[in-house]
Amino acid sequence: MDAISPPAVVQQAEETEQQIVEKAIAAVAKIDDCKWEVGRLAHEWTERFAKDRTDEDFGKLVGLSRSQVQQRRQVFATYGDVCNTYCKLSWSHFNVSLDWSDAEYWLGQANDLGLSVAEMQRMRNAQLRLDRGEDLTQPAEPEDTDTEQPDTESEHVAGVDPVQREPSIVKPTPKAESQPESPPEKVAKPETKATSTKKATTSVVKTTLTTILDRLESLLSAITPELKSKTEKQQLAEKLRHRADQLDPPEESTTATPAAVVAAEWNMIANVPRCKTVTKNRQKAVRTRMKDRFFRDNWRDAMQRVANSSFCTGGGDTGWRADLDWFLKPDSVVKLMEGKFDDTSGEKSKDVWRVPPSEHVPEVEDRTGGNYTPGDSSGDDTVPF
């Protein structure tokens, strides 16, 4: 049996030098000046036919200057194999990034975010300044550069060097004798270098921040549906709040928080452990309990029942004493108000729950807001809701 031969590969015949030159002339003559095609042809001509000839020689054949041929050839040689990956970018994006060591990253950013050439350059410059530890609110130091400006010519006449074109002559319009001479216009004061640099820096910061916010919004929109459990959502929310507090720290409050008021009133009860500080967990517990109408209406009376209860103040067989964390549990106030911890003898007076006036009642440290001392005449001792 004969061996099965591999499928035939159809290969495109190599173009001759004359064909390359003719195609390049046709591409140059087009209104949009097909830079990618000219670059491909210039690259192929250089590799196969140039010998001792240069970009200037090829430019004379097709009607371009040396710099125009060099730009197109270098862009194709560098990005010709990957340009289709960045379908949203123009040829100029690749031209300005020829000498960038991080070109792949910024071309990807420009393609994903739809950035213009100028926006891509501004964002990259801002990032480089941040990497160097510079303050973006200050003008950037001017940098010397020998990079040629991107080719911006939109039309070309085959066989004529664009550099040697004669400028068009515009004839002045004769002034009508019947019209009176208008007063001379005020010439706008030219911007100083510092002013223009400051405007450019402000524009960079604004563009960068807008882009970051847009990407953050897109990222959150993509992540949120993936968070299935309540715990995952809470963890994400906590991380975002932590970052937000780092960017914009909350101002210290001079008003006592609900947790500080509850803790200070608790410290007025005799024979129970004192609350020395309001932690975040206690702040959260008070905030949760205060959402319950029954707790809001009865928490002070419940504290009095703690003070009148021998069991809650260490008089039981085990010597257990109630503390603030126990009081803030979901069902503690309900049980206290239902009389579960009341003394059956009724010997305790309602007045003994308060700390004697001779004892010093320290101010409760509130890590999340203002402090509160019971009896402080400088403010109201009620919970601010």
Tell me: the pLDDT tens digits for 223-262? 888 888 888 888 888 888 888 877 777 665 556 788 999 9
Work out the average pLDDT over 174-199: 54
Class at the top of the CATH hierarchy for domain 17-131: mainly alpha
What local confidence, expressed as pLDDT, does residue 371 receive? 53
Q: What is the residue-averaged pLDDT of the chain?
A: 75
**What is the SS3 string spanning 335-377?**
HHHCCCCCCCCCCCCCCCCECCCCCCCCCEEECCCECECCCCC
**What does the alpha-carbon distance between residue 155 and residue 31 come to, in Å, rounded to a whole number?**
6
Cβ neighbours of 64 (radius 10 Å): 30
**Pick the residue with more confidence: 339 or 181?**
339
In this prediction, residues 112-133 reach a mean pLDDT of 87
Residue 76, amino acid: F
Element at 277 (helix H, strand E): strand 277-278
Mean predicted confidence (pLDDT) in 131-149: 65
List the Cα angle 13/18/23 in 5-degree steps. Answer: 80
Q: How many CB atoms lie within 10 A of CB 88?
A: 11
Averaged pLDDT for residues 22-44: 83
Q: Pick the closest to residue 365 from 286, 249, 257 (CA basis).
A: 257
Give the pLDDT band (50/70/90) at residue 182: low
The pLDDT confidence band at residue 8, using thresholds 50, 70 and 90, is very low
Domain boundaries along the sequence of the chain: 17-131, 258-366
